[in-house]
Chain A
Amino acid sequence: GDSVTQMEGPVTLSEEAFLTINCTYTATGYPSLFWYVQYPGEGLQLLLKATKADDKGSNKGFEATYRKETTSFHLEKGSVQVSDSAVYFCALSDGGTGGFKTIFGAGTRLFVKA
């Protein structure tokens, strides 16, 4: 079945450091890919998305490119801030399997130190 694997956390960085959170997926169809962010005490909210191969999603300085050849959707940010401290979830939605259901990764917790 469909699955999402993301790097284990926590990830601890200093302010202004470069961030990469790895995400790979398996899917039988042609999924849409998402990154969601969860700030402390809140629900998840969509950070960015990509709906087809080679698309790049971007928002708030974060970027991720849909790589079909490597089945990956890695999240990057050039310079993190303390306010980026949160849990990040990679996810896929695969309409090819009747999948309005979204498959979430386990989440990666990011701590950014001042």
Chain B
Amino acid sequence: NAGVTQTPKFRILKIGQSMTLQCTQDMNHNYMYWYRQDPGMGLKLIYYSVGAGITDKGEVPNGYNVSRSTTEDFPLRLELAAPSQTSVYFCASSYSSGGANHEQYFGPGTRLTVT
């Protein structure tokens, strides 16, 4: 199993440009998440999905969009990039049939700089 994979690893965008961060998991997990981690800070939840076709906002959704057409893929779209979106983005997944034991598996991250 490759686990959770993310592409690209690094990207530099100009203000106003758009891009899609790709995330794929091969563990058949039903839950998927997008976080951002600013330098020296913890994780902030951007969007999450509880299954294919279902997505919902997290703590900091503004400026982002997601879709979940398959169990495996959960791309994050940045529209009109702004310097405030400079961060490291992590995708994660977890599986649960109920209850609270949602240990998450993380991808290696995408380091994005907006200038």
Which residues of A are at the interface with B, using a C-beta cutoff of 8 A? 29-32, 34, 42-46, 49, 51, 89, 93-96, 99-102, 104-107
- The closest CB in chain A to the CB of B31 belongs to A100
User: In the complex, which residues of chain B have a beta carbon less than 8 angstroms from the beta carbon of A32?
Assistant: 100-103
| B90 contacts A100, C-beta separation under 8 Å | no
- Distance between Cα atoms of A29 and B98 in the complex (Å): 14
Instruction: Identify the closest chain B residue to A99 (Cβ).
Output: B100
Query: With A and B bound together, what is the CA distance between A100 and B56 in angstroms?
Result: 12
CB distance from A3 to the nearest CB of B (A): 12
Q: Scan B86-104; emit 1 where CB is below 8 A from any A CB, else 0.
A: 0000101010101111111
| Bound: A43/B99 CA distance, A | 25
* Chain A residue, CB-CB nearest to B4: A43
Contact residues of B with A, CB < 8 Å?
Answer: 4, 31, 33, 41-43, 45, 48, 50, 58, 90, 92, 94, 96, 98-109
In the complex, which of the residues B31, B42, B94, B109 contacts A104, with contact meaning CB atoms closer than 8 Å? Answer: B42
Q: Please give me the residue from chain A that is nearest to B9 by CB atom.
A: A41
Q: Given A106-B41, A107-B42, A93–B106 Cβ distance below 8 Å?
A: no
Shortest CB-to-CB span from A83 to chain B, Å, is: 19
CB contacts (< 8 Å) of A105 on chain B: these are: 42
Per the bound structure, the CA–CA distance linking A30 and B103 in Å amounts to: 15
Contact A96 B100 (CB under 8 A): yes
